[in-house]
Amino acid sequence: MYWYQILSLASFVVCLIIYSFILLKIIRLGKPRDYAKPSGDIQAGIKYSFTGALNPRKKESAYLHLPTYTAGLVYHAGTFLSLLLYVLSFFYLPYPDLMKIPIAVFLLISGLAGLGILIKRISLKKMRTLSNPDDYLSNVLVTSLHFLTSFFLMGYAFAVYYLLTAFLFLYLPVGKLKHSVYFFAARYHLGVFFGSRNIWPPQNA
Amino acid sequence: MIMSEISKQNLDKALNVLNTEEDGKLLTHLNACVHCALCADSCLYYNVFHEDKYIPAHKVELVTSVYRRYKTLSGKYLPGLTKAKDLDDKTITEMIDLLFGACTMCGRCVSHCSIGVDIAYLVRKGREMLSALEKVPETLQSTVQAAVKTGNNMAIPVEDLVDTLTWLEEDLKDDTGDETARIPLNEEGKNVLYTLNPREPKFFPLSISAMAKIFHAAGESWTLSTEMYDVTNYAYFSGNDEEAAIIARRLYETAKKLGVKRIVLAECGHGSRAFRWEAPNYLKQEFDIEVITSVELIEEYIRQGRIKVDKSKNRLRVTLHDPCNLVRLGGIFSQQRYILQHTVSDFEEMNPYGYENLCCGGGGGQLSMSEYNERRMKIGGLKANQIRETGAKVVVTPCHNCVDQLLQINGFYKLNVQIKTMAEIVADALI
C-alpha cells in the first residue's frame, strides 16, 4: 500500500468511528417520551415516512423542481456508488471493461449533476443567502469524488483520488455532510410524529 | 441594546433550549437541514413576499446557527465555516421578526422538506429561546398573561360569562321549544365537560347556542365550568412551557374535580393541539380522561344516529377550511367531511385541501400580534383566492381563530361569504 492509501484508510476509519458514535447516540436517545395517547399507528407512520412520503408526487420540493430533484437523485446515487467503489478499491478487484466504462460514465454524469447543483447554489440569490462555506466545500468535495472515482476506474489519478478521500473522510463528520446520518433519523422522527397523530399514512391517500 | 437587558441566567436558559444531550429528536432536526431552499414554495410568506428571509430554511437557520455556535466544536472554533452565529442583538431581533412575525407554524413546509426537517418544531424551539430571553412580543404575552391570571385569555369576568350563558339558555328554550333545555354549569358527574374559546362568549355567542342545541338534540349529559372553560393555550405559541402547563393543568384538574368522563375541546385548532397533544407532555402525565374534539363528537352523534340532520336545510354552496393544528398537525381529516356530507347539499373542496391546505394566515398567534397585521392580511390573500375559486357562499371551519382571520379576509378581499363554525352548520341542519 502506498502512503496516501494508508492515509486515506486511516481517515476512513476515523470517520467510521465518529459516525458510529453519532449513530449510537441517536439510537440511544431514541424518540422523546410522548405522554399523549396516540390516535394512529406509529410503526405505519415510520414506514410511510420512508416510502410514500418520499414519493416525488407528494412533495413540492420534488414536483415543483423536477430538474433539481432529478439531479439530486443522480448525485446521491453517484455518491453511494463512489463510496462503495472506494471500499472495493482496497480489494483490487479486476473490473471488466464492460462494467467499468458504464460505471465511469455514470459517475461523470452524477458529478455533472453535482456541479449543476453547485452552480445553482452560486447563481441563485435565495440559495446564496442561505449558503455558508461548508455548503460549497461539501459539494466540491463530493462532486470531486465522483469525477476522481471515474478517472480512478479508468486507471488515472490514483494518488489524487486517495488524497481527496483522505480529506473528505476527515471532513464528513464536521459539516452538512452529516445529513447522511441525520436524514434517516429525521425521517424516523417525522414518522413517529405524524404516525402517532394518525396523519401518516394519510387517510385520503 | 437588547443584550444589555438580558440577564446571564436568561441567556443560559435560552441556550439550554438547544441542549441535545438527552433529546434525539432535537439533535436530529438541528443537524439535518442542507440549505437546498426547496421549502420556499411551501411557505405562505415566501409565496406572497418573495423575500429570501421568509424561506422556512432561513427561519430554521436562525435557530441552528446559534446551536452550532454554542453547542458544536466546529461552531465554537471555526464559526465562519458554517456561519455559526452569536446570540446577539442582531440575531435576536431577526428571530423575533421571523419566528414570531413571519411564521404561523402551520407545518406545511415540513412534509414538503426534501430531508424531513421538522421546521415548525424548530420554530417553536426558537420561540422557546425568545421566551426564556423575555422577548415574546408584548401583544402575545399579554394574551398568555390574561389566561394565566384570570383563567381565560380575554379576561372575561365570571359574572359576565354567566350572564351571557343565562340568556343563551333562555334562547335555547325558545329555539327548541323545550322548557327543560339547559346550559349546565359546574355540574359534577356528567359525561362531557365542554370547553369554549373565550371569543365565543365575548363576540360569537351563537356558536355556543349551536353546540348547546346539538347537545340537547343528542340528549347529552354535559356541563360547562365557569372556573375553567378556556380551550386556548397561547403559551403554546409564545414558547413558554411553564405557562402552558399552568393553563393545561387548570383544565385537567377542573375535569377531574367535576368527575366527567370526557373533555370535549371546542372548535379551536391550536387549543385542540395544545391540550390533546401537548398538555400531557407539559404535565408529564398520561391523561386518564378521554380528550376529543367537538368535531369528533359531532361525527359520532351523526354516525350513531343520536342527532338527525337534513342537508337540504343548508342549500348554499359550502367550502371547508381545514385548520392546520387540527388537520395537518392533529390528524382530524375525515370527520369534518363526514359531517358536511350529511349536513350540506352543495360542498366544494378548496384546492389544495386537507393535509395540504393553506393556512388562513391567523395561526401561530398572528391574530394576537397586531404589529404584524399588515403581513397577516397580505398572506391571507392566498386563502381568499382559494375561497373565491370554489364559488362557495359559506366557509365552514372548526376553529374560532380561523373564523376570526377568515372574517377579516372576507371584508378585506370583499369575498361576500358567510363564515361558520362546524357546530353552527350542523345546528342549522338539525331536524
pLDDT band at B368 (very low <50, low <70, confident <90, very high): very high
| B61 interfaces chain A, CB cutoff of 8 Å | yes
pLDDT at B301 over 70: yes
- What is the reported pLDDT for A205? 46
In angstroms, the separation between the Cα of residue B146 and the nearest Cα of chain A is 26
Q: Does the distance separating the beta carbons of B115 and A179 come in below 8 Å?
A: yes
pLDDT band at A95 (very low <50, low <70, confident <90, very high): confident
| B27 interfaces chain A, CB cutoff of 8 Å | yes
pLDDT at B428 over 60: yes
Residues of A in contact with B276 (CB under 8 A): 36
Q: What is the spatial distance between Cα B281 and Cα B241, in angstroms, rounded to a whole number?
A: 9
Residues of B in contact with A62 (CB under 8 A): 38, 114
**Average pLDDT over every residue of B49-71:** 98
Residues of A in contact with B329 (CB under 8 A): 197, 199
pLDDT band at A22 (very low <50, low <70, confident <90, very high): very high
Of B24, B38, B41, the CB nearest to A30: B24
Separation of CA A181 from chain center = 8
Residues of B in contact with A125 (CB under 8 A): 52
Based on its alpha-carbon atoms, the radius of gyration of chain B, rounded to whole angstroms, reads 22
Q: Does the distance separating the beta carbons of B81 and A134 come in below 8 Å?
A: yes
- What is the reported pLDDT for B62? 98
Residue A39's SS3 state is coil
ipTM: 0.95
Residues of B in contact with A136 (CB under 8 A): none
A138-181 pLDDT, tens digit each: 999 999 999 999 999 999 999 999 999 999 999 999 999 999 99
| A51 interfaces chain B, CB cutoff of 8 Å | no
Cell digits of residue B377: 392580511
**Average pLDDT over every residue of B109-122:** 97
Percent of chain B with pLDDT over 90: 99
CB B148 within 8 A of CB B243: yes
pLDDT at B322 over 90: yes
Cell digits of residue B180: 327543560
**Average pLDDT over every residue of B36-62:** 97
Question: Chains A and B: how many Cβ contacts under 8 Å?
Answer: 164
B389-412 pLDDT, tens digit each: 999 999 999 999 999 999 999 999
| A13 interfaces chain B, CB cutoff of 8 Å | no
Q: Does the distance separating the beta carbons of A182 and B32 come in below 8 Å?
A: yes
Residues of B in contact with A31 (CB under 8 A): 24-25
3-class DSSP string for chain B:
CHHHHCCHHHHHHHHHCCCCCCCHHHHHHHCCCCCCCCCHHHCHHHHHHCCHHHCHHHHHHHHHHHHHHHHCHHHHHCHHHHCCCCCCHHHHHHHHHHHHCCCCCCCHHHHHCCCCCCHHHHHHHHHHHHHHCCCCCHHHHHHHHHHHHHCCCCCCCHHHHHHHHHHHHHHHHHHHCCCCCCCCECCCCCCEEECECCHHHHCCHHHHHHHHHHHHHHCCCEEECCCCCECCCCHHHHCCHHHHHHHHHHHHHHHHHHCCCEEEECCCHHHHHHHHHHHHHHHCCCCCCEEEEHHHHHHHHHHCCCCCECHHHCCCEEEECCCCCCCCCCCCCHHHHHHHHHHCCEECCCCCCHHHCCCCCCCCCHHHCHHHHHHHHHHHHHHHHHHHHHCCCEEECCCHHHHHHHHHHHHHCCCCCEEECHHHHHHHHEC
CB B98 within 8 A of CB B62: yes
Q: What is the spatial distance between Cα B206 and Cα B426, in angstroms, rounded to a whole number?
A: 13
Q: B20: nearest CA in chain A? A: A29
B124-178 pLDDT, tens digit each: 999 999 999 999 999 999 999 999 999 999 999 999 999 999 999 999 999 999 9
Read off the DSSP letter of residue A205: -
| B323 interfaces chain A, CB cutoff of 8 Å | no
pLDDT band at B2 (very low <50, low <70, confident <90, very high): confident
Helix and strand numbers (H, E) in chain A are 9, 0
Residues of A in contact with B265 (CB under 8 A): none
Q: What is the mean pLDDT of chain B?
A: 97
| B22 interfaces chain A, CB cutoff of 8 Å | yes
- What is the reported pLDDT for A204? 64
Q: What is the mean pLDDT of chain A?
A: 96
CB-side neighbour CA atoms (13 Å) of B203? 9
Q: A118: nearest CA in chain B? A: B36
| A67 interfaces chain B, CB cutoff of 8 Å | no
Separation of CA B181 from chain center = 31
- What is the reported pLDDT for A203? 79
